[in-house]
Amino acid sequence: LDTTNEREEDEKEAVQRARLFIYLSAVIVIAVLLYALVVYLTAFEGVPVGPFTGMSDFQSALMMKVV
Amino acid sequence: MRKLFRVEIGVFVWALAFAVFFFGSLSLSINLDYRIVDVLLANPDSYSAYVQDALLYLILPAAIAFAFMIVALAKEVKSPTGVLEAFWLPITVFGFVFFLLSLLSLRTTYYYYQYNVSWIRSYASYTDIMPLIQTVYTTVMMGYVVWVLGGFLLMLSPIFKIILNRRADLPSPRA
């Protein structure tokens, strides 16, 4: 019985640890993607550009924000 | 040490590698458009800086995360913890994001490679930097290929596990 209880506790602990790491990973990935989205949305303020500006403009804007 | 190589920690390592890849390769990918020709014409030795950046920010993080995840998946097959089944959706979404972004980056890099090569070939005096251009673009594209493969592995690993579980539940055709 003790062994069964220990195993159940181990499984619970494993699920909690897995949840923690998955949530941490989600926070990192979503933060990076949100950062890119915010920079993209604010990069062309006041600049008369069309919808197909190309990747290099976006990347240049990102670079200007980062550096 | 036995608890280190787990799928959830592998996903976390992938997320950290993604952050390094995103911010680290930013300056690299900007200069990989038509500007690389001017940079290499002005200073041909600067190609080593491109290769070094590609190795540090593209290939190294992905290779570490890839190796970590393969060991973690092998351990998961031996002693299943149920993480792949319980968190199949976030793991698949992460894999899809990595796969898609790196595939788009690979396509853009290949486009600029073709563009620069055709441009250099039209000017006979610029052909000296052709091997340097090829070295830089090959290294960068290999980095993106590692990311594509890693994203593909991450995206499909929970789905393969679920398919294997369902197949194991089915009765054997010989029985």
Choosing among A12, A24, A25, which should be mutated to test the B contact, i.e. which has the most B CBs within 10 A? A25
DSSP A52: -
Q: How far apart are CA B92 and CA A40, in angstroms?
A: 25
Residue of chain A minimizing CA distance to B14: A25
B18 touches chain A (CB under 8 A): yes
What pLDDT band is residue A48 in, cutting at 50, 70 and 90? very low
Question: How does pLDDT run across B14-35, given as a tens digit for each residue?
Answer: 999 999 988 877 767 666 777 7
CB interface of B with A, residues 107-136, below 8 Å: 108
| pLDDT interval class at B172 (50, 70, 90) | low
How much is the pLDDT for B171?
67
- pLDDT band, very low/low/confident/very high, at A15 (cuts 50, 70, 90): confident
The 8 Å CB, 24+ separation contacts for A34-37 are A36/A62, A36/B22
pLDDT in tens, B139-163: 999 999 999 999 999 898 888 888 8
pLDDT band at B88 (very low <50, low <70, confident <90, very high): confident
CB distance B19–A28 less than 8 Å?
yes
Query: Rounded to the nearest 5 degrees, what angle is found at the Cα of B111, between the Cα atoms of B149 and B48?
Result: 75
Do B136 and B51 contact (CB within 8 A), yes or no? yes
Minimal Cα distance from A24: which residue of B? B12
**pTM for this prediction:** 0.79
For residue A1, the model assigns a pLDDT of 58
- pLDDT tens, residue by residue, B109-144: 898 899 888 888 887 777 788 889 999 999 999 999
Listed by number, the residues of chain B in 53-112 with a beta carbon closer than 8 Å to a beta carbon of chain A are 81-83, 86-87, 90-91, 94, 97, 108
d(CA B62, CA B105): 15
In the structure, what pLDDT confidence band is assigned to residue A38 with cuts at 50, 70 and 90?
confident
State chain A's mean pLDDT as an integer. Answer: 71
Q: What tens digit of pLDDT does each residue of A26-36 get? A: 899 899 888 87
The predicted pLDDT at position A62 comes to 64
Of B7, B15, B30, the CB nearest to A63: B30
In this prediction, residue B59 carries a pLDDT of 92
- Judge contact between B51 and B135, C-beta under 8 A: yes
CB B98 within 8 A of CB B151: yes
**Which residues from A are below 8 Å from B11, CB to CB?**
21-22, 25
pLDDT at B76 over 60: yes
Q: Tell me the average pLDDT across B41-67.
A: 89
How high is the pLDDT of residue B2?
61
CA atoms within 13 A on the CB side of A26: 12
